[in-house]
Amino acid sequence: MPTTTPAVWFAVATVFIDMIGMGLVMPVLPRLILEVSSVDLAQATVIGGWLFFAYAGMLFLLGPTMGSLSDAFGRRPLLLVSIFGLGVDYILTALAPSIFWLFVGRAIAGVCGASYVIANAFLADLTPPDQRARVFGYIGAAFGLGFVIGPALGGILGEFGPRVPFYAAAAFSLANFVFGWFVLPETLPPDKRRPFDIARANPIGTLKVFRTYSGAIPLSLAMFAFFLASAVYPAIWAFWGIARFGWSELTIGLTLAVFGIVTALTQAFVTGPIVARYGEWRVVVFGLVSAAVAAGGYGLAPSLLAVLVLFVIHAPEGFVMPALTALLSRCAPEDAQGEMQGGIASLQSLGMVLGTPFFAHVFGYFMQPNAPVVSPSIGFYVAAGMLALVLAGFLLTTSSRPADPAK
């Protein structure tokens, strides 16, 4: 089936709108935490890390269930539930009077945060294995474009108060739900569905998918370690910008938007051709090199201009997830693509669960006056070292020869 069908573009558009909603809130989260609590910036960063922990923890626990449910009951109903739940979450967060309610909101978002899992299953339904890296690149481009519009708009709206962007995010999500209710097709016919199995749908059971199919374990380990190191960005970016350069909400939003432009252009126009020319394996290697260099570079960056230059160096990191996703999708049969995507979501969530509080605590510790070195940038140096180790492990444990298609 061609990769330009309306269903493909709807799946991509769904991720795009969801990422606008997520991007809207990122620039104002530090100020909202400070508003509902009486802590300093270092302590607010730690709270922010635990908020991401609440989101990713619930996604880790229940996200795989959504993927397996979509294998059993179809993509459409599960995707609509996820979209609606995110809209409700944003309203709850906008009204939150305390840190407790911020955590409740993040937990709900985690439960309903599987929309991209099901969107990826949509794409796996509609595209042959040799085209999946390209369409998964479209999903990456949707993430990037969402981070063009979302953070920029969040920074602008944040000037009117830290809660305003949450109302805007709710409007985007609920409008997407209404649109999807009328136009969203079902892409998994009944004869290709399989019974729901809770043993395979729980997080540990879902992770077993990588042990089930040949060649999946080293790829899954590389993906988990990559997500773990990449958690440095949601954990500390906004707080680092404030501490290092004194950025406002608007500047934070604009930096995320600029990086979104670079990422979107790279993934939309470069992922497909570069994978076709060099193969997924080599593209992963190149992306990991870029990721490690960029992370270390941010720690050393002396100015906003240097950060903007590093965005170009950082952009090829966007190849890693779609290329690894395509490699892993080759390992599973067609009736297990939802389960495989659920397993990938579990890896990402587990990386966030462990990585965001870790990097938040690194930031908080090295911002204390009695720390061995007082610097907001230590987290980026740690992430660069971790990414270098991911690259070494990937080179040692995987092969440039594509895996044989699952039987």
Q: Which of 34, 263, 280, 1 is nearest to 142 (CA)?
A: 263
Assigned domain for 120 exists: yes
State the pTM of this model: 0.74
Q: Is the pLDDT of residue 3 over 50?
A: no
pLDDT confidence of residue 376 = 94
The arithmetic mean of pLDDT across residues 252-261, rounded, is 84
pLDDT band at 311 (very low <50, low <70, confident <90, very high): very high
From residue 150, how far is each of 16, 87, 95, 263, 319 by CA, in Å? 10, 15, 20, 14, 22
* Residue that the structure tokens 């960063």 belong to: 45
Q: Is the pLDDT of residue 2 over 70?
A: no
User: How many domains does the chain fold into?
Assistant: 1
Q: Which amino acid is at 220?
A: S
Q: With contact defined as beta carbons under 8 Å apart, do 316 and 346 qualify?
A: no
pLDDT confidence of residue 406 = 43
pLDDT digits (tens, 9 = 90+) for 16-31: 777 777 777 778 888 8
Percent of the chain with pLDDT over 70: 90
How far apart CA 37 and CA 47 sit, in angstroms, is: 10
Assigned domain for 152 exists: yes
pLDDT digits (tens, 9 = 90+) for 48-104: 888 888 887 887 777 667 777 777 787 788 888 888 888 888 898 889 888 899 898
pLDDT confidence of residue 148 = 77
Helix then strand then coil, in percent of the chain rounded to 5, is 80, 0, 20
At CB < 8 A and 24+ separation, what contacts does 310-314 make? 311/258, 311/259, 311/262, 312/262, 314/259, 314/262, 314/290
pLDDT band at 144 (very low <50, low <70, confident <90, very high): low
Q: Which of 232, 161, 225, 210 is nearest to 330 (CA)?
A: 210
pLDDT band at 358 (very low <50, low <70, confident <90, very high): very high
The arithmetic mean of pLDDT across residues 210-215, rounded, is 79
pLDDT digits (tens, 9 = 90+) for 373-399: 999 999 999 999 999 999 999 999 887
368: which 2 tokens?
A: 């204390």
CATH of the domain at 320: 1.20.1250.20
pLDDT digits (tens, 9 = 90+) for 287-305: 999 999 999 999 999 999 9
Q: Is the pLDDT of residue 7 over 70?
A: no
pLDDT confidence of residue 203 = 67
Assigned domain for 235 exists: yes
Q: With contact defined as beta carbons under 8 Å apart, do 248 and 238 qualify?
A: no
Cβ atoms within 10 Å, residue 131 = 17
Q: Which of 235, 214, 234, 217 is nearest to 225 (CA)?
A: 217
| CA neighbours closer than 13 Å in the CB half-sphere of residue 272 | 16
Residue partners of 201: CB distance under 8 A and separation at least 6: 64, 65, 67, 68, 69, 342
Assigned domain for 361 exists: yes
Range of the structural domain that residue 300 is part of: 6-182+200-397
Assigned domain for 139 exists: yes
Assigned domain for 1 exists: no
Q: Give the relative orientation of helices 337-366 and 115-126 as an angle to the nearest 10 degrees.
A: 140
pLDDT digits (tens, 9 = 90+) for 171-181: 888 888 887 78
Alpha helix locations (H) across 38-74? 41-73
Assigned domain for 403 exists: no
How far apart CA 400 and CA 390 sit, in angstroms, is: 16
Assigned domain for 76 exists: yes
